[in-house]
Amino acid sequence: MQLGTDRSSRRRRGAGLAALLLAGGALGGGAVALWRPAAPALIAPALAAPPQAKATPIDALNATQQAAMAAPLPSFTHLVRVVKPAVVSVTNYLKQQHPMVQPGGPQLPFPFNQFPFNQMQPHPQAVEARGSGFIIDKSGLIVTNNHVVKGAQRITVTFDDGKTVPAKVVGTDPRTDIALLKVSVDHPLPYLELGNSDKVEPGEWVIAIGNPFGLSETVTAGIVSALGRNIGDGPYDKFIQVDAPINEGNSGGPLLTQHGQVIGMNTAILSPTGGSVGIGFSIPSNMIRKITDDLRQYGHVTRGYIGVEAQAISGAMSKALGLPDKDGALIAAVEPGTPAQRGGILPGDVITAVNGAPIKNPRDLADHVAAVKPNTPAKLAIIRHGKKMVISVTVAEMPSQKQMAANLAPAHARSKLGLALGALSPGMASQLNLPAGTTGALVTAVKPGSPAQLAGIAPGDVIVGVGTTEVHDPVEAAKAIDAALRKGGNAVALRIMHNGQPAFVGITLGAKKG
């Protein structure tokens, strides 16, 4: 069996809704409002009899299917009784580093920004937040969300019987929001086995167990709404969408089928209010298994890396490139000095398979490359100028997020203009309402008082050119800026996309000292 959790609330823009990551509640005066319906709801018949006069294919259910649809709702009492001992409450004790809080709302880092303090805090105080988790090994290994334990000074775990013990972090993977904890006890613990999330189908019953708003051992039920959801949270999003109510504190708790199989870990909701509206997301169990195996063995996750930026292929782009269909990942940029560059991959190539596995979109490419063991070759099937070919690339180990950020924009670009540059992913391009196919360098930060800020550059702008030179990624942008400054003295013209619109911006540096 398996268990799952949800993530602390994190607001996201888009279509008037916010994707919230439910990490759990900080102590400090938050209140929970209770709502009762005015009258009981009427229950409609489970399945109306099909019309006799006119049968259509959609009505042609066999006897077994009709019986299943007309069956009474399942009872989860026995299942809950069996699995609850393996579900735990995870408490994160985080010392507040910036204690001066304005009345009416705290200035606390995510995810603890929903619990108002009544007065100024003159001294650093410990902030306590709670999420959920579940035991996956009798020795005391516990799975939860990375955001539940992020920034913790210490962590405790509370079991079903009320006993609380300290826990240590074995390893975390921010890219998938998975963390592995370990507790030391003098007896074997009840645990849940991870099921096969690839066999999950929309429409099947599921239950979620966790500690929403500190209400321990809360059980909710619903159905699987959809599979493979990408909510823009990370490069490996393939969430299971469910309508079982999930709220703050459910993060890290299990999602189980009515047969007791753990198929996911509840992590996020989509909501305009901050509460559950029946759209929740769980990390698939097969992803949890792969990540926790790496964390248990190495303390970190090992992924393959080739160093490309890829984008989806639109219908118009497919015709323009002479492609048979829209399947594949179009290479927008190749980072210098990476396996892709050494292997001969070029911008404009379309990768259609990795080691024989078909690639339908950039997310497929990220998943399949990440699964390749570092320092081993991978055969990439590509289309270049309408011709099919296969290129062998020796896959490297993916750098840490900090290493990748450091490599993306050379220091001279940041120090001279006051800019921090990052890669522009297809997901980010969509969020910024950029035209399809836009490539460039994303402005991730602007130093206060810098030439860039004085010129009006803001985070979220995208540099697509320096003077008349097109740039496709942060490295190209940094090099072009440096070359322009060497050639032009103390001024540079940038072509940017600002709020989805193209513009030229001139940046002038301070006068040089003789």
**Residues with catalytic annotation?**
147, 177, 251
For residue 421, give both structure tokens.
């540059």
The span from the CA of 315 to the CA of 460, in Å, is 27
Q: Which of 292, 263, 237, 265 is nearest to 19 (CA)?
A: 237
Residue 70 belongs to what H/E stretch? helix 63-70
Positions of E strands within 362-500: 377-384, 387-394, 396-397, 419-423, 441-446, 462-466, 469-470, 491-498
Q: Which of 195, 192, 174 is nearest to 284 (CA)?
A: 195
CB atoms within 10 A of CB 514: 3
The span from the CA of 31 to the CA of 50, in Å, is 49
Residues with Cβ within 8 Å of residue 273, at least 6 apart in sequence: none
232: left (phi over 0), alpha (psi -120 to 50) or beta: left
Q: Which residue has the tokens 């990220």?
A: 366
The span from the CA of 134 to the CA of 6, in Å, is 12
Residue 316 belongs to what H/E stretch? helix 315-320
3-state secondary structure 104-120: CCCCCCCCCCCCCCCCC
Positive or negative: CA dihedral 204, 209, 210, 216: positive
Taking CA 374 as the corner, what is the angle to CA 369 and CA 376, rounded to the nearest 5 degrees? 90
The span from the CA of 280 to the CA of 6, in Å, is 8
